[in-house]
A and B are shown apart, each in its own frame.
Chain A
Amino acid sequence: MIESSENSSSEEIKIIKDATCTFCGCVCDDIDLKVQGHKILEAKRACVLGNGWFLNHGVDTRPDCFIEGRPAPVEEGIERAAQILSRARYPLIYGLSDTTTEAQRVAVAIADWIGGNIDTTTSVCHGPSGMAFQGVGEVTCSLGEVRNRGDMIIFWGSNPAESHPRHFTKYSLMPKGMFLPNGRKDRTCVIVDVRKTKSARAADIFIQIKPRKDFEALWTLRALAQGIDLDPVEVEEETGNPLSLWQDLMDRMKAAKFGVIFFGMGLTMTRGKHANSEALLALTRDMNRYTRFVCKPNRGHGNVTGADNVVSWRTGYPFGVNLARGYPRFNPGEYTAADVLARGEADAAMIIASDPMANFSQPARQHLASIPYVALDPKDTPTARSAAVTFTVATYGINVPGTVYRMDDVPIPLRPAFESSHPSDLEILQGIERRVRELNRQMIRADS
């Protein structure tokens, strides 16, 4: 919804009601934006990260396209990108968590046409949880159910006060819900972490565990859920906390009406990885013998959940998918971007809304720097700077409409604030897909 008014300056101020913030996986869709021309003046109800997001995406005067660092027409960039991807023997498409679902669909199509490898930032985020979902399953719910029913909220290896600042107030702790008329007073909050983070201040119970001992702590709880006797000395030595504390937590969990465990990358990025997530998912499943319990990964990027959904619709697998044989194959560790690059396998790449040149291991970065690759990003990043072809694109949610998925798999529409002079990811990817298909046809004709 848009309301307009005049002010003293020449440009009209408009108010965009219920705009959607795509910075993090909370995807808050209740932000009122005050917009003047190509600038957002105010983002009402946005958190510190949302304010940073909305107030720092104004007009970018960089050219739409660079080839080998020199400004170039978009059409030339699309041609060069299509040539790079079509000629490669093992092309990699990676990123996708900060773009629209519509653009993600086209990226998967390109991977299919070129027989490439497609992976998303999920693989270096909750990819291990994705593996655990396949092994154990996920007892889950929407954030609306958490808001209205969740009376025992556990955060494990997650620090929403820094990473998802409105999580507590919008969904998990503060809201007065249908079955929680007193809001925060009706909920118990437990935080389990190796650090006493900013989030710990919000907890009724904070449990500081030893680093790299999440697996042991979760299995302690699994054993207690089953009523198995444990050695108190061993438990304290392994987890850093007395057995009585874990027993007390288990008693509270069993007494809850609707328990929720939100878990973060404290589990997935630490030794144990998918085994840690599996332990947590299995504990959640176990708890349903006594009461209702669900779990949810706290997802980072605005549409990383959309990336999982789209890649799953189109290939049957959520990330790390290889299409070289004409059908999808899934194997984390083999087809995931960090591995494909660190092992020096990919001979070309397209990076969409991601920055592996700043966030990947050194061997992976060194290999990416040695192959021709295409980058699409609204911002100047180390990855965008080193690409053979760079597209400066419009920002999703601020300039570009479309759909994103909230961390609980609920699709949310975007309500952009103003138009950008730059093309969208979707437009660039559609152009590359068209040209890749033409090149494919030419190659087939040449072969026959």
Chain B
Amino acid sequence: MVTEEFILIPGRTSRQGVGISEGKFESSYQEEIQSLQMAPSDMQRLDLKKGDRVRLTSEDGQIEVCIIPARTDELPAGLLFIAYGDLSSRLMGGDTHGTGMPTSKGIDVQLEVLKSA
């Protein structure tokens, strides 16, 4: 199985914010936090299409998510984005390097393509 190195940026989205108010167990919120945005050029290179599943592995955890294309120029090649939530936090480590804040953005991950949608 081919794996590639990426840098993951978890962050806020409006849909994730609205989802918190609607309820964290509702489908809208769950769908948002389980969607991984990738640069269209990376998707083309890896022969991925919207909805394909991938596995992300960091030094501290592993998650499985669906791919969606980022808006045309939002992400440069090699960078991934996911809305904050349960899944993104599973990739963080417990060590905060003396700050109280785990490294929650700019996480090194290995991406492994699982299967087509």
Contacts from A to B (Cβ < 8 Å): 23-24, 48-49, 51-53, 55-57, 119, 123-124, 127-128, 131, 159, 162-163, 165, 194-197, 208, 211-212, 265-266, 268-271, 273-274, 300, 319-320, 332-334, 336-339, 342-343, 355, 358-364, 379-382
Assess the A52–B101 pair: CB atoms within 8 A. no
Assess the B22–A382 pair: CB atoms within 8 A. no
**22 pairs, CB–CB < 8 Å, chain A vs chain B:** A52-B17, A52-B20, A55-B21, A56-B21, A56-B23, A162-B12, A195-B75, A273-B97, A273-B101, A332-B98, A332-B100, A333-B96, A336-B100, A336-B101, A338-B96, A338-B101, A339-B96, A361-B89, A362-B61, A362-B90, A380-B23, A380-B25
Task: For B24, list chain A residues within 8 Å (CB).
Answer: 355, 358, 379-382
Residue interface bits B29-47, CB-to-A below 8 A is 1, else 0: 0000000000000000000
Q: At the interface, is chain B mostly helix, strand, loop or mixed? A: loop
Assess the B74–A195 pair: CB atoms within 8 A. yes
Contacts from B to A (Cβ < 8 Å): 7, 9, 11-14, 17-25, 60-61, 73-76, 79, 81, 84-86, 89-90, 92-106
Assess the A128–B14 pair: CB atoms within 8 A. no
Task: For A339, list chain B residues within 8 Å (CB).
Answer: 94, 96, 100
- Contact of A379 (CB < 8 Å), options: B17, B23, B74, B94: B23
Assess the A48–B92 pair: CB atoms within 8 A. no
* Smallest beta-carbon distance B5→chain A, Å: 12
Task: For B76, list chain A residues within 8 Å (CB).
Answer: 208
CA distance A336 to B73 in the complex (A): 38
Task: For B22, list chain A residues within 8 Å (CB).
Answer: 52, 56
CA distance A405 to B103 in the complex (A): 27
8 A-B pairs closest in CB distance: A336-B100, A342-B94, A52-B18, A333-B98, A123-B100, A363-B94, A332-B100, A269-B104
* Smallest beta-carbon distance B39→chain A, Å: 10
